[in-house]
């Protein structure tokens, strides 16, 4: 496994739609392992492939708080089949939007179909934090970021600050 650099907003790749995968092989599993390591070391609880610059419909998630008992979830080509009318709010952050958090309301329950790490078709019913996390990550596959749910003023302010931070980093990394 190897850790990959995370793409930070603003970056045009984060606005692109990711492509579905046709087959699950060792090469793909290696990529999923790299994504998982990148997510754990960030640290974060979810990561989409586009966040390491790969436009494929791949997500890794681990919402378990216990470092000893990791419970990674790999989602390949996830497709939401149901979203509840009832909503839940969580303070969301994103590895591609470092340092910013906002309360976002999303359907509190979602059902989905996906392909797992071994290429098997699976379905899942998620609620609570897992439901929010899955929907946040699937948004990434469609070029959507959590700041898109904020007012234009708030969103523009965050993007402006991230742009400034990036410029500062460029100065340091010569
Ligand atoms: Ni994110």
Residues 21-43: what's their mean pLDDT? 96
Query: Tens digits of per-residue pLDDT, 100-119?
Result: 999 999 999 999 999 999 99
- Dist. CA 25–CA 48, nearest whole Å: 18
Task: Note whether residue 6 is domain-resident.
Answer: no
Task: Note whether residue 113 is domain-resident.
Answer: yes
| pLDDT > 70 fraction of the chain, expressed in percent and rounded | 98
125 CA to centre of ligand 1 in angstroms: 21
Handedness of CA 107, 49, 39, 31 (dihedral sign): positive
Give the CA angle between residues 143, 91, 161 to the nearest 5°. Answer: 60
Q: Is-contact 132 90, C-beta < 8 A?
A: yes
Task: Note whether residue 1 is domain-resident.
Answer: no
12 CA to centre of ligand 1 in angstroms: 15
Task: Note whether residue 104 is domain-resident.
Answer: yes
94 CA to centre of ligand 1 in angstroms: 4
Task: Note whether residue 2 is domain-resident.
Answer: no
Backbone conformation region of residue 103, classed left if phi is above 0, alpha if psi is from -120 to 50, else beta: beta
140 CA to centre of ligand 1 in angstroms: 7
109 CA to centre of ligand 1 in angstroms: 19
- Dist. CA 117–CA 33, nearest whole Å: 10
Among residues 77, 96, 79, the alpha carbon closest in space to that of 28 is found at 77
Which of 9, 92, 109, 137 is catalytic? The answer is 137
Question: What pLDDT does 69 receive?
Answer: 85
51 CA to centre of ligand 1 in angstroms: 8
Residues 145-167: what's their mean pLDDT? 96
- Dist. CA 49–CA 57, nearest whole Å: 7
CATH of the domain at 123: 3.90.45.10
Task: Note whether residue 3 is domain-resident.
Answer: no
Question: What pLDDT does 32 receive?
Answer: 98
pLDDT at residue 145 tops 70: yes
Is 137 marked active-site?
A: yes
Neighbours of ion ligand 1 (CB under 5 A): 94
- Dist. CA 101–CA 83, nearest whole Å: 23
More confident residue, 167 or 73: 73
Length of the chain: 174
Q: For residue 173, what pLDDT band results from cuts at 50, 70 and 90?
A: low
Where in the chain does DSSP place strands (E)?
A: 46-48, 58-61, 73-83, 87-92, 102-107, 109-115, 121-127
First to last CA, the chain: 27
Task: Note whether residue 46 is domain-resident.
Answer: yes
Q: Is-contact 61 68, C-beta < 8 A?
A: no
What Rg value do the Cα atoms of the chain yield, rounded? 16
What's the total number of domains in the chain? 1
State the residue range of the domain holding 74: 12-170
């Amino acid at each position: 496994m190897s850790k990959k650099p995370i793409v930070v907003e603003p970056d045009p790749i984060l606005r692109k739609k990711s492509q579905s995968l046709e087959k699950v092989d060792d090469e793909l599993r290696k990529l999923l392992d790299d994504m998982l390591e990148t997510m754990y070391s960030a640290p974060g609880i979810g990561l989409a492939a586009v966040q390491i610059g790969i436009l494929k419909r791949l997500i890794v998630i681990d919402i378990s708080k216990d470092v000893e008992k990791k419970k990674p979830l790999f989602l390949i080509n996830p497709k939401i089949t149901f979203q509840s009318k009832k909503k839940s709010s969580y303070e969301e952050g994103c590895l591609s939007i470092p340092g910013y958090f906002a309360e976002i309301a999303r359907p509190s329950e979602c059902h989905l179909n996906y392909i797992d790490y071994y290429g098997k078709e699976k379905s899942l019913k998620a609620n609570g934090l897992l439901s929010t996390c899955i929907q946040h990550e699937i948004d990434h596959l469609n070029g959507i970021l959590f700041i898109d749910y904020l007012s234009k003023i708030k969103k523009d302010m965050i993007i402006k600050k991230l742009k400034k931070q990036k410029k500062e980093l460029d100065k340091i990394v010569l």
